[in-house]
Every structure is written in structure tokens, then in C-alpha cells.
Amino acid sequence: MPTALITGANRGLGLELARSIAAEGWQVHSCCRMPDKAPELRATADAADGRIQVHRLDVTDDLQVRSLARSLEGKPLDLLFNNAGIYGPRDGFGSQDFEAWSKVLAINLMAPMRMVENFVELVAASQHKLIVNMSSRLGSISENDAGGGYPYRSSKAALNMVTRGLSVDLAPRGITVVSVHPGWVQTDMGGSDAALTVADSVAGLRRVMEKLTPEDSGRFFDHSGAELPW
């Protein structure tokens, strides 16, 4: 049975990814910061006939990441989905909160790398060997003609660079690494005016993942399968 690990799986896109991947018969390690405060994830896990395991994981906590990786040792991981993310401060030019910006980088940029470094052996031992970093179109440098959003945009642009670097470093091990943009989605982050439902976005992302080949490694796709410019 293929296995996935998803971060930030207690709400929004992460929760729906866990639900829908488990519904296809996969085993899913669903990670969240506070399992005891994640009633939707717990209910989803209860309805999944043992295919969803819930794990406590703050992706910025090195000890927690290392101990989860150790507890899964010997269990191949077909898909590592780095989904957890925050938008951070929305202040424009001239009023940056640099401490808050650091937190955005810790969660959106450095945590995915920490996850990959800790789980790479399990991914390498799997059949699918896929790592997906949840990026955003707002991280596209060439598409930025609106300015603003410095913390979030810079975190996702840098995450894209991490994707690209990993695609080179992990190619010899047969691991495919991509960045994806889920569309503008109705979640706590995307807001209720967003264009896409969580279900439609995740259905699209899953279609994209199903078609990926090693030749796609180091590329950036949206939920419709269109390739995005860096």
C-alpha cells in the first residue's frame, strides 16, 4: 500500500489532501501541531478505516521532526507533501516586521528542507519517490507586477529554489521534487472570496501528481497542470 506524509493536515488543503489520498487506499501520516485540537482531522481519521495516522508535528521543531522520522524508520514513504504554511504579516513597503518575516521563512522555507533531510531515506526506499512542496504563484518572480507581500512572496520564491536544488541533488536517487500552486483556494488563508473550493484544488493537484515523471523534477505546476514561470 503506498504511503504519504502530509504536514499541516488539520485544516484547509492539508486536511483535504489527507482525506482524498486515504480514500484512494493510501496510508497517510497526517501531521499537525496540536492533534488534541484537530477535531476535523480526528473525525476524518476515524472514518478512514485505519488508513490515516495522526502525528503531532510542528514543522519548525527539529526534535519533533527527527523523532517522527525515527519512529517511521523502515517504512517507505511514496509521497512527502510539504503543505504547512502561513501568510504572515501583510504590511506593505516601509513597515516590515522582520521578526514575523523570520517566522514565515522558518515555516514556509526552512521547514520543508528540514522535512526532506529527515525523511529522504524513507522516500528513496519507496516506489513513487515523490516530494511535493506547496508553493504559490505569489512566489513567481517573473509574475510579480503587484509588489507587496514581501515575507510570503520571498518565502515561496526561495522554496522554489529549494525545489530546484533538491531536484538536482536527489536525481541520482530517483526522487522527483516539484513545487505546486494550488490556485486561489477557499481556506483560512485564501479567504471565502477565493475562486476554488478545497475539493476542486486538491482534485487538480492529485491529477497533476499522478502524471508526474522524473523528467518533471525541478518544475513548478499549478492545480490545472499548467507550468508556472519561476
Active site amino acids:
150
DSSP string, 162-192: HHHHHHHHTGGGT-EEEEEE--SBSSTTT-T
Shortest distance, CB of residue 48 to ligand NAP, whole angstroms? 18
Facing residues of 55 across strands?
31
**Binding-residue total with ligand NAP (CB under 6 A):** 29
Which one, of 21, 160, 195, 155, lies nearest residue 29 by Cα? 21
Residue among 85, 88, 112, 149 that touches ligand NAP (CB under 6 A): 85
**Nearer to ligand NAP by C-beta: 17 or 48?**
17
Decide if residue 182 touches ligand NAP (CB under 6 A). Answer: yes
* Of residues 109-168, those binding ligand NAP (CB under 6 A): 134, 136
**Nearer to ligand NAP by C-beta: 13 or 122?**
13
Decide if residue 184 touches ligand NAP (CB under 6 A). Answer: yes
In one-letter notation, the amino acid at residue 230 is W
Q: 3-class DSSP state for residue 96?
A: coil
Task: Write out the three cell numbers for 39.
Answer: 477535531
Site string for ligand NAP, 200-219 (x = CB under 6 A): --------------------
* Of residues 11-40, those binding ligand NAP (CB under 6 A): 11-14, 32-34
Nearest-Å Rg of the Cα atoms of the chain is: 17
Q: Where are the alpha helices (H) located in 37-192, listed in sequence order? A: 39-46, 62-71, 98-105, 111-124, 150-169
Shortest distance, CB of residue 45 to ligand NAP, whole angstroms? 14
Site string for ligand NAP, 46-65 (x = CB under 6 A): ------------xxx-----
Distance CA 152, CA 90 (A): 9
Distance CA 116, CA 81 (A): 10
Decide if residue 105 touches ligand NAP (CB under 6 A). Answer: no
Binding site for ligand NAP (CB under 6 A): 7-8, 10-14, 32-34, 58-60, 83-86, 107, 134, 136, 181-182, 184-185, 187-190, 194
